[in-house]
Amino acid sequence: MTVERVGPPLLGAERETLRAYLEFQRATLAMKCEGLTEEQLKERASPPSGLSLLALVRHLAEVERAWFRRVFDDHTAPMLWSDTHFDFQAAYDTTAASAEEAFAVWEAEVEHSRRVEREAGSLDLVGHQPRWGEDVSLRMVMLHMILEYGRHNGHADFLREAVDGTVGA
């Protein structure tokens, strides 16, 4: 599979631009993982940290779920990788993890997130963030997700370079 990244529009409307930046970031994560074996995806660049490319995929599946599914659809949706509510660290343990499962779960959560955004009447859609106990707008969620992916894609740059020397995106 070859990952295609499409750059955001230079003169797009707000929603179109936010959607495009989020999709660009999602594609960047996939690109960073492209062509690696399961063992390579599990390689940790800085032990004792459990951070690996596969851990990032699992974590970002959890983040997609937390910010779209839980905020707009089901406040009580369980965590994907932990029985403890709001335990995002469990995703980093890839000891028994399968890359196939992790990518399938991430892709399913991304598709759910896309559906929530697509079906929203506007970026002013309000949801409830159960972790904060506060209401948030779809606009805020999309911006937060762009930030979250951007931060973790920076980690992915270093992790990929440590695995096989590949730099850049």
Predicted confidence at residue 3, as pLDDT, reads 80
According to the model, what pLDDT value does residue 72 have? 97
Output the pLDDT for position 83.
81
Q: What is the pTM of this model?
A: 0.94
pLDDT of residue 79: 86
pLDDT at 1: 59
Res 16: pLDDT: 96
Q: Half-sphere exposure of residue 147, counting CA atoms within 13 Å on the CB side?
A: 7
HSE-CB at 27 with a 13 A cutoff on CA atoms is 15
**Rounded-to-integer distance, Cα 134 and Cα 151, Å:** 23
User: Which structure tokens are listed for 102?
Assistant: 């992790």
Q: How far apart are CA 149 and CA 31, in angstroms?
A: 13
Residues of the chain with pLDDT under 50: none
DSSP 89: G
Q: Is 93 helix (H, G, I), strand (E, B) or coil?
A: coil
